Chains A and B, each alone.
Chain A
Amino acid sequence: MILAAPMQKLALFLSVALLVSSVFAGPPIQPDSKLTPGAVLPVTREDIIVPGYTKKVRNVPQSVKEQVYAEYGITSRAPGEFEVDHLISLELGGSNSIKNLWPQSYLTKPWNAHVKDRLEDKLHAMVRDNQIDLATAQHEIATDWIAAYKKYVGPEPGTEASPATHGASPSTSPSTVHSAPATSDATKVWVNTKSGVYWRPGTAYYGKTKAGQYMTESEATAAGFRPAKGQ
């Protein structure tokens, strides 16, 4: 019993250390391959290149989304912090199976959900243009989406020296992460040209919406755009 007390303290210390490390491990930037190996629908290239294909797929039920967060141990989250991502995207024939879903952060840097969207668009365009077959695209994004990004889109975001030279010509698909304006233009706002609202530097969606452009605030208001709420 005399030796038991130090052992209990050690066990307590280790428990606390494990808890702290799990709390501060941060959100995953890659899915757990055991929980999320990827899963596809029985579809072909001809199916997925039809405009509006993804709209034919039912939305993931909230109950399934909650299961995804639970299996990844995410018990609380802020609005806009995560999306339940299809590892193999719907536009590449991915399914709504829980084996294809994982919680992906919008906020981690440099790898996050916005960046992965660029890869998904790029691979879909390559499949459409017969530059890669569907099965290969599905396999590459399911195996290591970051490696696939570097291979098909370009270097790690924020370190781009030149456009990617792999595969097809540089993507013309919409980007979801946009380079910040030059320093002299740093006071420009980011206009979401789809929703009609604009974001000032330092706010959540500055330079991050799919559709948009930088302009001065006076240009934005003159064009009829309005500031996003909460700014």
Chain B
Amino acid sequence: MSANHKLTALIKGRTISGTGTTGEVMTVSFSDGSKMTIRTAGATNTGPTGGTVKSVRQAGSELSIDFEGQPTLTIPTAEETSCVMVRDKSGVMEYAD
């Protein structure tokens, strides 16, 4: 599984303040007010609240978020692309895949 450099550079160091799921969309909220939405392929585990992102890896329809000192969160995405989006606290788009 290879690194997603673009997403890693964006969210590395951000800390998860909460997660939620609506249907097949998982929302990860960060303590800086930004939010990441992920279209998932079915049920997923929630991310560790308080976990700080170390890196993001992606291969095929699988997204893995590595945290500082906490287990990796692996999320099956609905497609290989077009499933992840990050917006800052003002709602400005920061990333889409």
A interface with B by C-beta (< 8 Å): 39, 41-43, 47, 50, 53, 56-58, 60-61, 63-64, 95-98, 100
**Chain A residues in 8 Å Cβ range of B85:** 41-42
Residue in chain B with minimal CB distance to A54 = B96
Are B81 and A47 in contact, with the CB atoms below 8 A? no
A58 CA to B96 CA, complexed, in Å: 6
Of B4, B6, B7, B97, most A-chain CB atoms within 10 Å: B97
Whether, in the assembled complex, B24 has its beta carbon less than 8 Å from a beta carbon of chain A, the answer is no
A100 CA to B80 CA, complexed, in Å: 13
B80's contact among A50, A57, A61, by CB below 8 Å, is which? A61
Are B92 and A41 in contact, with the CB atoms below 8 A? no
A64 CA to B81 CA, complexed, in Å: 8
Are A58 and B93 in contact, with the CB atoms below 8 A? no
B82's contact among A50, A63, A96, by CB below 8 Å, is which? A96
B interface with A by C-beta (< 8 Å): 4, 6-7, 60, 79-82, 85, 92-97
- Given A41-B82, A95-B81, 17 other A-B contacts at CB below 8 A? A41-B96, A43-B93, A43-B96, A47-B92, A57-B96, A57-B97, A58-B81, A58-B95, A61-B81, A95-B82, A96-B82, A96-B97, A97-B79, A98-B79, A98-B80, A98-B81, A100-B82
A50 CA to B88 CA, complexed, in Å: 14
Are A56 and B95 in contact, with the CB atoms below 8 A? yes
Give 10 CB contacts A-B under 8 Å. Answer: A41-B85, A42-B85, A56-B93, A57-B96, A58-B81, A61-B80, A61-B81, A64-B81, A95-B82, A96-B97
Are A96 and B93 in contact, with the CB atoms below 8 A? no
B60's contact among A43, A60, A63, A95, by CB below 8 Å, is which? A63
Nearest CB in chain A: distance from B95 CB, A: 6
Residue in chain B with minimal CB distance to A67 = B80
**Chain B residues in 8 Å Cβ range of A57:** 95-97
Nearest CB in chain B: distance from A96 CB, A: 4
**Given known contacts A42-B85, A63-B60, A58 and B97 CB-to-CB distance under 8 angstroms:** yes
Are A60 and B81 in contact, with the CB atoms below 8 A? yes
A47 CA to B91 CA, complexed, in Å: 9
Are A58 and B92 in contact, with the CB atoms below 8 A? no
Nearest CB in chain A: distance from B12 CB, A: 16
**Chain B residues in 8 Å Cβ range of A53:** 93
**Chain A residues in 8 Å Cβ range of B82:** 39, 41, 95-97, 100
Are A97 and B93 in contact, with the CB atoms below 8 A? no
Residue in chain A with minimal CB distance to B84 = A58
Are B80 and A64 in contact, with the CB atoms below 8 A? yes
